[in-house]
Amino acid sequence: MTSIAQYIVDAVYVVAIIVFILGLKAMSSPSTARRGIVYAGAAMLIAVVVTFLSPNLSNFAWIALGIAIGGGGGYYWAKVVKMTAMPQMVAIFNGMGGGAAAAIAAVELLTSMRGATAYLSVAGAIIGSISISGSVIAFLKLQDWMPSKAIVLPARQVVNFAVLIIAVGFGIYAVGWLHAEYLALFYTFLVLYGILLTLPIGGADMPVVISLFNALTGIAVGLDGFALVNGPLGDAGYAMVIAGVLVGAAGSLLTILMARAMNRSVGNVFFGAFGATEETGGPTGTLRPIDATDAAVLMEYAGEVVIAPGYGMAVAQAQQKVKELADLLEAKGVTVKFAIHPVAGRMPGHMNVLLAEAGISYDKLFDRDEINNEFPSVDVVLVIGANDVVNPAARRKGSPLEGMPILDVDKAKTVIVIKRGKGKGFAGIENELFYQDNCRMLYGDAQAAVGQLVTALKQS
């Protein structure tokens, strides 16, 4: 049975796995990250090619067509999408992986439902289906194709749990009593569970959610791998076990690290319905507007200006203008620093990436921990489209934001906030900072507002 071709296929899988691990390792350090994805890409390419060429395979035309449609579509979509949409692209492509894992499990179950392997397929189907339906909801929320606010249904914990139990029940019944016709119901209830699980999660928590679904897809792929090791091309199964579990473990750790950066637990994200509680007795007072000319003067005569960017800068694509503003201020002898909150924007590192794109040097970017003690001595803080991450309500007990680490910009001498309108932040909570005496509001789209500041500085 083992032909020379088979040995070659196996050897290539071994090489691919080694290169995958080296690639992941390289991706965890800034200086080698770029190399890492190239390694992983090469590993993937040889693994896919060698599988395609392996002996005894049929349905070649269908496989080629599927790869062409999915591969071409995915590549094109990822290339044309705007940089700000990256978080939801990770979500949707992750969902595709989960869907593929669920579909593979379905094929395995349709082929044979005997032995322990069938139950492994059931497990792969459960996790893969939850991953695709949850990821699609995350995608729709981030894309603003559905409200990003937490949607909370009554008695959801009980309902969700019941839906999951019913789904698992159908799965076990289908396999244990060989009723393949119940598989459709099994999948339907799983998809429903994934949707119900994700709906109550507010937009601010999406990075953690996407990361968890990423880890889940990895585990689903690993479980599919288990189911395939006894099949006709068993070593493909081992490759899937290794790559899948690798992502499952790394992804789980990453999820915990991200949740920790927001001072939340993963359980709290999924079962706490964050952002759904309506706060009573919000901040009172008046908002004090400022025009661009006055704001420019304030900054020009400041000793130190700290810029705190957020999602508003990302949507408006204002990073180039921000760089211009920083250069002008520095030319006038003002020290300019950037304060980067770990979860500013929609994903950890989102701001670093955008500012880096604009060519702002790394040594001007400061993490929350590095700069937070400095704020009391800073003359002007310019907040560009950030909201929840600078809301001092997080320091107050009973606030829905309680405990979330924030940038202490409210302690600076003057705070200028560039904001599109009077709306609330992603978490749906009023920002107490805006009502403080030392805070001035500069209304407008981030691109336009920073542009006005640049013009005003050039004229002075």
Measured from the CB atom, the residue of 8 and 245 that comes closer to other proteins is 245
Measured from the CB atom, the residue of 33 and 287 that comes closer to other proteins is 33
99 is an interface residue for other proteins by CB under 8 A: yes
Residue 364 carries which DSSP code?
G
226 is an interface residue for other proteins by CB under 8 A: yes
- Of 312, 331, 452, 341, which is closest to residue 401 (Cα–Cα)? 341
Q: Which of 137, 221, 401, 416 binds other proteins (CB under 8 A)?
A: 221
Binding mask 114-153 for other proteins (x = CB under 8 A): -xxx--x---------------------------------
Q: How far apart are CA 339 and CA 351, in angstroms?
A: 10
106 is an interface residue for other proteins by CB under 8 A: yes
Instruction: Give least dist CB 297 to other proteins, A.
Output: 28
Q: How far apart are CA 269 and CA 23, in angstroms?
A: 30
* Dihedral in degrees, nearest 10, Cα atoms 381, 317, 134, 28: -70
195 is an interface residue for other proteins by CB under 8 A: no
* Options 157-165, 251-259, 281-289, 376-384: segment touching other proteins (CB under 8 A): 251-259
Instruction: Give least dist CB 400 to other proteins, A.
Output: 23
What pairs with residue 336 in β-bridges? 305
What pairs with residue 417 in β-bridges? 383, 441
- Of 313, 308, 307, 305, which is closest to residue 332 (Cα–Cα)? 305
Q: Which of 8, 249, 276, 290 binds other proteins (CB under 8 A)?
A: 249
Residue 337 carries which DSSP code?
E
83 is an interface residue for other proteins by CB under 8 A: yes
- Of 76, 92, 73, which is closest to residue 141 (Cα–Cα)? 92
Encoded tokens for 198: 């994700």
Encoded tokens for 184: 């459709």
Instruction: Give least dist CB 228 to other proteins, A.
Output: 6
Helix (H, G, I), strand (E, B) or coil at 397: coil
Q: How far apart are CA 329 and CA 335, in angstroms?
A: 8
Instruction: Give least dist CB 318 to other proteins, A.
Output: 16
* Options 73-81, 297-305, 378-386, 450-458: segment touching other proteins (CB under 8 A): 73-81
Residues 13-52 that bind other proteins (CB under 8 A): 20-21, 23-25, 27-30, 33-34, 36-37, 40-41, 44, 47-48, 51-52
Query: Catalytic: 205?
Result: no
Helix (H, G, I), strand (E, B) or coil at 442: strand
Distances (CA, A) of 318 to 65, 310, 332, 418: 41, 11, 21, 11
* Dihedral in degrees, nearest 10, Cα atoms 133, 139, 145, 146: 60
291 is an interface residue for other proteins by CB under 8 A: no
Residues 440/416, Cβ–Cβ less than 8 Å: yes
Please work out the total of residues on this chain that contact other proteins, with binding judged by CB under 8 A: 123
Maximum alpha-carbon separation in the chain: 82
CA neighbours closer than 13 Å in the CB half-sphere of residue 183: 23
72 is an interface residue for other proteins by CB under 8 A: yes
Instruction: Give least dist CB 347 to other proteins, A.
Output: 5
Residues 400-419 that bind other proteins (CB under 8 A): none
Measured from the CB atom, the residue of 51 and 452 that comes closer to other proteins is 51
Residues 81/89, Cβ–Cβ less than 8 Å: yes
Q: Which of 8, 15, 103, 172 binds other proteins (CB under 8 A)?
A: 103
67 is an interface residue for other proteins by CB under 8 A: yes
Residues 320-359 that bind other proteins (CB under 8 A): 342, 347-350, 352-359
Residues 391/433, Cβ–Cβ less than 8 Å: yes
Binding mask 354-393 for other proteins (x = CB under 8 A): xxxxxxxxxx---x--------------------------
Measured from the CB atom, the residue of 210 and 427 that comes closer to other proteins is 210
Q: How far apart are CA 233 and CA 361, in angstroms?
A: 50
Which of the residues 205, 224, 235, 388 is marked catalytic?
Answer: 388
Query: Which residues are the active-site residues?
Result: 388
